[in-house]
Structure 1
Amino acid sequence: MSGIKLNAKSAKHPHVPPGQNTHSLSQQAEGFVLTRQSRDRQGQTQIVIWVKTDQGPCQLVIDGESPVCFIPASEQERADTVLTQHGFSVNWRTLDMKDFQHQTMSACYSATISSSLRIGALLLAEGIKVFEDDIRLADRYLMERFIRGGIAFAGNAVIRDGYTEFRQVKTKSADYLPSLSVVSLDIECSEKGVLYSVGLHSEADSRVIMVGEPLNAEQEQLTWIEWVRDEKALLVAMQEWFIRYDPDVIIGWNVVDFDWRLLLRRAEWHKLPLRLGRGRQTPHWRQSSQNPNAGFITIPGRVVMDGIDTLKTATYNFRSWSLESVAQELLGEGKAIHNVYDRMAEINQMFREDKVSLARYNLQDCKLVTRIFEKTHLLDFALERSRLTGVELDRVGGSVAAFTNLYLPQLHRAGYVAPNLESENWIASPGGYVMDSKPGLYDSVLVLDFKSLYPSIIRTFCIDPMGLVEGLLLDEGKSEQQAIAGFRGGRFHRQKHFLPEMIEALWAARDQAKRDGEKAFSQAIKIIMNSFYGVLGSSGCRFFDHRLASSITMRGHEIMKLTRERIEEQGYEVIYGDTDSTFVSLKKAHSGEDADAIGARLVVDINAWWARHLQEHYNLASALELEYETHYHKFLMPTIRGQETGSKKRYAGLVIRSGVEEMVFKGLETVRTDWTPLAQEFQQTLYRKVFHDEDVEEYVRAYVEMTGQGAFDDKLVYRKRLRRHLSEYQKNVPPHVRAARRADEVNQQLGRPLQYQTGGWIEYVITTHGPEPVEARQSQIDYDHYIDKQLKPIADGILPFIGRHFDDIIAPQLGLF
């Protein structure tokens, strides 16, 4: 855990204006926010915040916070008339605040959340623009107090069963790092969703609650198995476990959309209110409005974190997201069962005949998830992200929410109300700079990267939502107030902004985190910092303005082009550029030592040039920082398949790090999930041989021959995702869809549930009768397909650069005449 603080002004709350946290709390306690909810109760609002403290869990109950929305002050009288006619009683306050169009705002305070929602809809129907009515009450309460994870509080305390309740609460921010108790949960069930067992793995206690009874004295002695008579008793025992061991965090694999969805469904079937939350409160399930297969669970006082979602939020990526696959890749272990029906059959058999083995299997899943979280420091990452931005620990994605949490309170204190989502007016901004590549096989290619290019552009050119509004107000003729020109009409104020300071504070904190080896903290900061450009260019963010995003990306284009010119002036050749990376050919082979010296000299020269250029032309201090990243001893920039034009975002190279050679593939078949292991193994070996100037003809001939003889049948499997329902594929029916349909035909014939109708992953091979699923292949493998469609394209991507051709190599030897 990091313990790192940003500088005093920004720190645990980046960029908090001095004097904003003004509560003076006597006898205060400190803790960390686990869950927050708001609701209406007895004609007023109630916010409930569950907090983890050193003394145990606390429930903070805040009554009577007024929901607020904003409208133009010029519309207040009409709005008040409309609301009075519909029986709403509200409080109005004219504020020293404006919207981004500089209209004076009035605040409308209502008594309840439900009335606030109706008021917003009613005023909108009357053509009165309403601002910030979509911000949840509990979120506004915390963000306006700059509470980001850590919270200090005081109030009237009452000791309850298992927790302390606080009323008449005063709160403010605190720099508090909790020690959280975690349980890994996994269920086993029949194909119809009837529960067999629940596994629970934590430091305090690990056990499997199993439906059934021990068959002998030896099984009775297994204290880690808790035997129960039926499914309802299993649910009751699980509830008692949560009350007794009281975990803060529940982790699992697909734990929300599978385990918790099923647990709540079975509890409902038994008419059993599962009181699993703190204070013996029941969980709340909310179905996703966008995905019928997804939902959200709230358990008061406990955080539910899904391993897949959290890994994705932390920018991990895997070929397959099955627990077995991720565990194999991260931990080097997993389960041998991959086919869902083999797995289901084995689970059913174990439940009937060997429940102890099923219990071990169940608990092993729990332990694998725990070890994955520990290996990747996922909980540390989520904690640091919450401490930096205030988003919930279990928030998936959340870039827009993080930006809003950080930016909105500062915007209010500067006298502005935030704009609304205006997705219908969304205008796309140019993407990152990608130059045309120069295909070829090169010796000694350097890669020079701009460190966090987009964040550094934001810092240097003062790009900021409020800065844009203020910059457009300025008279460009007054040199002392001259704005910084952006793109597409953007203009930014030199002093009135928040985002550059936010970036600067996060940047400094990340550098410190790197020095201190705090990987989770560093990764959290990197993701947050890099997301700022993304949210400003997203129609899902209220601060979107195409002038903001364009002023970042188009400035990036300019920087990359000028950097290329500077490099080529020094006699080197730029063969490719992508977003923030420049690939430089040194035109001949260099030793690692010589290449490193050239790379170091280039970045010093270019950074100094940018500092001079920006000072002379813009009167700006440069935050641009070019770094020497890599020396490729050998480097391939391929052509687009079947063309002579160079590829983009596809290359391969050989690097030597600490005396160890490493092959790097970017965008090529080796790193793509839709190519077979056969092709990937062939590419890796072939490229390595070419890079080492070894003869390749015998290798190519032998590999093709062995493929045709069936020596590599285990490497011929395609794996592809079905992104739509099977029935939706009508005109264009690709191979993986045909294979999935065949698989479900077999499932239907065998009386098994259909597996692929609503999507999923399919594994298949190409046979003489077309694509067939691995689990139901009946025809001979079409080896000619694999040679022509998998091996030949890979060989043709590199062999012509050394004067060889795949077809010539594998052609029959006709001899000389």
Structure 2
Amino acid sequence: MTAIEHGFLLTRDSHDHSRHTEIILWVTTPQGPARLVIEGEQPVFLLRQDQAERAEQALDEAGITTRSRPLDMHTFAHQPVVAFYFLTLDRARKARRLLKERGLTLYEADIRLQDHYLTERFVYGSLEFTGQPRDCGSYTEYRRVRVRPGQYQPSFRVVSLDIECSAKGELYSVGLSGQSDRQDNDGLVIMIGPQPARLEGDTAIHWVENEAGLLTALVEILGRWDPDIIIGWNVINFDFRLLLKRAERHNITLLLGRGEQDWQKRVHWRERAGENEQGFITIPGRVVIDGIESLRAATWHFDSFSLEFVARTLLGKGKDTEDVDNRMAIITHDFHHNKEKLARYNLEDCRLVQEVFDHTRLLDYLRLRSQLTGLELDRLGGSVAAFTNLYLPKLHRAGYIAPNLPEGGGLASPGGYVMDSLPGLYDNVLVLDFKSLYPSIIRTFLVDPLGLVEGLKEPEEAVPGFRGALFSREKHFLPEIIRSLWAQRDEAKREKDAARSQALKIIMNSFYGVLGSGGCRFYDTRLASSITMRGHAIMQQTARWIEEQGYQVIYGDTDSTFVHLGAELSEEQADNVGRELEQMINTRWRQTITEEFQLESYLELEFETLYTRFLMPTIRGMVTGSKKRYAGLKKNKDGTELVFKGLETVRSDWTDLAKTFQIALFEKVFAGESPEQLVQDAVAETLAGKHDDQLIYRKRLRRRLDEYVKNVPPHVRAARRADELNRQHGKPERYQHKGWISYVITVAGPEAVEWQQSPVDYQHYIDKQLQPVADGVLPFVGLDFLALVDNQQGLF
């Protein structure tokens, strides 16, 4: 009997070989890497039966061999379909192009052969397989392979990579840290230059003669270390982009992948044209994962995604300097005069990236996401692909094929519910949140693509949605998918598995957006509207029920309701009201949904927070209540905590002056103390230059400098002036190709911090930083900023 092996997918690909197809799956197994070769799978696409004869005739005339057969499957319009099979990928590509030119409609023609093979077998990340093994030295190759879903939890071999180079992109060194042929190690730096007679430190350095030697050594060492995963910081669009450019310059092919033949090891690079100039890299048998994009995919947020900033925020440590000019100058100096110091610096970057990955459990998150959805480890975003992977094989078994993308991108669906707020300074404000509102609406009201098709076909017993939607009570998949993910998340929470819980939350919450996205083949405005508009109705009815109890709803936002109880209640009494409202609302929804729809309610309201003091501001310069902006004071285990949402304190585009002033101002107001002296002191001290270290703006340049034409904001003006001065002083330009700039407003206008030559415009900071913050609070305590500070300003 053939042994059953266990593995986890690293890379997948397909190609034509000897007049048939091969799917190549690279997996990591308990015994090491393995190459699975699946032969003879046929590319397929579908057409409506009424177009099949025209398609067959067109293909026959073009000499493209195909095999077609009717399927017991239908489009969402209940039209029967025919499948067209091809022996090779090349024939399928030519057939697709030809039939589209003839105006025929193809279905599921864009699904890659390897993805079709895996998802139809419900293989997501982990798998079990059988096959005929062949020992290839560093890996095992299997043929006559069969696969099925598995539960294997891999232990990846991970290497962190970082390069150092000149301002012109000339390579100096490459640092590697992680797991090598010697297991865990202290890292290695490949350095250009002659080996010194004596080294002072213990950094392992592999010396090479020149840049070509560095690239050749990188291929040899990575092949020997044989990692499953290569990590880094901007590692794809900087490090690997530059490595490939320098290799091309030296006519060197980077054979960094796994395999016996050179063509099997070749690195593949593709680039998506557009504003971001995003590059994508494929290395057979290895996965390259960028720390920045992976953190974003896992919903981490930082004011800056520089390695220095993220490392200091998460780990409490960073590099010696984050000043770009100084760092580049130091790197170049050390390359020529102190290569051992440069090697230590290079390796420090590698280790910081490793520690950030370990601290955030990024690889755990990506592994879990792959096991849940079938997404590749390095697939960033991918919500549409994740939904398709989960939904399509179930749909096929129900006798339907997927629709194509909507023409023109589809119609916009309503957004989340946001209530007009009642501005004011309040005592005792409860926040009641619906737990995962949109997923719970999908579960409760059976919102589902197949359910919509079947509900419209048999409307008598269907569940009503919005915009004409009707959903089948019996035939649907998405509510069960949500139920399964929900149960797994509850289990992850009980086990305190934060990475797993976060992966499940992101996947579950993405399904509404997918159904409302014109980039998804299952898009239908009736689906997304039946979620968001149901959310509107739920929030509005919840508010009415609360107000029937004699309490005031002052704000509502997507899934949160803010309830003012009044100052006469103690903290304990307010807590009791919160629990009573939670229980009452959940009971009312269970009763209502049972009576009106004959369905079980999965809506769950939670009493989340009690703010003992709370401020809902107005829109700046108006009397209308603000939205998504508030501040509150709540108790925690360490005492009290100030919470800001959408205000200057939590926004990266405001100065530290505004942030520290706002915190101090709210502390005064929430404590019931007069803020008059605080405001006057803040203005006087700013005018006296006592807060100059807090006046720096930091903003991102999202485009090239020459692309700002009509509207030129202050940070762009500062960047242009800084690079003009850089050129005059023989320094490299810093700001031409996006990035971040720190600047101050001076009497001569905005100036970059490193090139500040004019006195600070203090009045700007009074008018644009202190006054807007104060105006958001002072009217609620009967004060006016200008009236308080006019005398102070007159003294300077």
On whether the aligned pair clears a TM of 0.5, the verdict is yes
| Amino acid in structure 1 at the alignment position of 2:682 | Y
Aligned to 2:238: 258
Higher RCO (C-alpha 8 Å, min separation 6) = 1
- Aligned counterparts of 1:623 and 1:348: Cα–Cα separation in 2: 61
> Map of 1:679-690 to 2, 5 A cutoff?
679-690=658-669
Aligned to 2:266: 282
SS at match of 1:812: helix
> Map of 1:67-466 to 2, 5 A cutoff?
67-203=43-179, 204-205=184-185, 206-219=187-200, 222=202, 224-279=204-259, 281-291=265-275, 293-424=277-408, 426-466=410-450
Deviations 1:321-360 (A, max 9, x none): 1111111111111124233222111110111111111111
Identify the match of residue 500 of structure 2 among 502, 505, 521. Answer: 521
Give 1:363 deviation, angstroms: 0.8
- Aligned counterparts of 1:46 and 1:181: Cα–Cα separation in 2: 26
Q: 1:582 aligned to 2:558?
A: no
SS at match of 1:435: coil
- Aligned counterparts of 2:453 and 2:744: Cα–Cα separation in 1: 58
Q: Is the 8 A contact 2:616 2:631 kept in 1?
A: yes
- Aligned counterparts of 2:608 and 2:203: Cα–Cα separation in 1: 55
SS at match of 1:724: strand
Q: Is the 8 A contact 2:515 2:524 kept in 1?
A: yes
Cα 1:814–1:766 shift into 2, 3 Å: closer
Identify the match of residue 454 of structure 2 among 464, 470, 491. Answer: 470
Deviations 1:436-459 (A, max 9, x none): 000001111000000000000000
Q: 1:667 aligned to 2:646?
A: yes
> Map of 1:739-754 to 2, 5 A cutoff?
739-754=718-733
Aligned to 1:32: 8
SS at match of 2:791: coil
Aligned to 1:56: 32
- Aligned counterparts of 2:377 and 2:518: Cα–Cα separation in 1: 24
- Aligned counterparts of 1:475 and 1:719: Cα–Cα separation in 2: 57
Aligned to 1:544: 523
Cα 1:793–1:413 shift into 2, 3 Å: same
Identity of aligned pairs, percent?
57
Aligned to 2:22: 46
Q: Which stretch of structure 1 is more off in the superposition, 271-280 or 70-79?
A: 271-280
Give 1:686 deviation, angstroms: 1.0
- Aligned counterparts of 1:365 and 1:103: Cα–Cα separation in 2: 58
Q: Is the 8 A contact 2:684 2:792 kept in 1?
A: no
Deviations 1:525-573 (A, max 9, x none): 0000000001001111110000000000000000000000000001111
- Aligned counterparts of 1:251 and 1:515: Cα–Cα separation in 2: 31
Deviations 1:726-763 (A, max 9, x none): 22322222111211211221222233443323322222
| Amino acid in structure 1 at the alignment position of 2:312 | Q
Give 1:189 deviation, angstroms: 0.5
Give 1:777 deviation, angstroms: 1.6
Give 1:223 deviation, angstroms: 5.3
What is the TM-score when the length of structure 2 is the normalising length? Answer: 0.97
Q: Is the 8 A contact 2:683 2:792 kept in 1?
A: no
Q: Is the 8 A contact 1:445 1:633 kept in 2?
A: yes
Aligned to 2:637: 658
Cα 1:802–1:98 shift into 2, 3 Å: same
Give 1:591 deviation, angstroms: 3.5
| Amino acid in structure 2 at the alignment position of 1:211 | I
Deviations 1:571-592 (A, max 9, x none): 1110000000000011225443
Unpaired segments of 5 or more residues in structure 1? Answer: 1-24, 477-481
Cα RMSD for the two superposed structures: 1.5
Aligned to 1:22: none
Task: State the 4+ residue runs in structure 1 displaced beyond 6 angstroms.
Answer: none
Cα 1:485–1:668 shift into 2, 3 Å: same
Q: Is the 8 A contact 2:547 2:553 kept in 1?
A: yes
Q: Which stretch of structure 1 is more off in the superposition, 502-511 or 264-273?
A: 264-273
| Amino acid in structure 1 at the alignment position of 2:112 | R
SS at match of 1:165: strand
Q: Which stretch of structure 1 is more off in the superposition, 276-285 or 793-802?
A: 276-285
Unpaired segments of 5 or more residues in structure 2? Answer: none
| Amino acid in structure 2 at the alignment position of 1:401 | A
Aligned to 1:3: none
Give 1:293 deviation, angstroms: 2.8
What is the TM-score when the length of structure 1 is the normalising length? Answer: 0.94
Aligned to 1:727: 706
Cα 1:746–1:581 shift into 2, 3 Å: same
- Aligned counterparts of 1:691 and 1:358: Cα–Cα separation in 2: 52
Aligned to 2:614: 635
Deviations 1:771-797 (A, max 9, x none): 111121211110000011100110110
- Aligned counterparts of 1:81 and 1:30: Cα–Cα separation in 2: 46
- Aligned counterparts of 1:671 and 1:126: Cα–Cα separation in 2: 56
- Aligned counterparts of 2:635 and 2:597: Cα–Cα separation in 1: 41
Q: Is the 8 A contact 1:73 1:103 kept in 2?
A: yes
Identify the match of residue 512 of structure 1 among 452, 470, 491. Answer: 491
- Aligned counterparts of 1:119 and 1:614: Cα–Cα separation in 2: 51
SS at match of 2:737: coil
Q: 1:645 aligned to 2:637?
A: no
Aligned to 2:771: 792
Deviations 1:16-73 (A, max 9, x none): xxxxxxxxx8311011001101112222211100010001110001111111000001
Deviations 1:663-699 (A, max 9, x none): 1110001111111111111111111111112232222
- Aligned counterparts of 2:638 and 2:718: Cα–Cα separation in 1: 46
| Amino acid in structure 2 at the alignment position of 1:42 | S
- Aligned counterparts of 1:199 and 1:369: Cα–Cα separation in 2: 12
| Amino acid in structure 2 at the alignment position of 1:226 | H
SS at match of 1:346: helix
Give 1:616 deviation, angstroms: 0.4
Identify the match of residue 614 of structure 1 among 581, 590, 593. Answer: 593
Counting matched residue pairs gives 785
| Amino acid in structure 1 at the alignment position of 2:622 | Q
| Amino acid in structure 2 at the alignment position of 1:575 | I
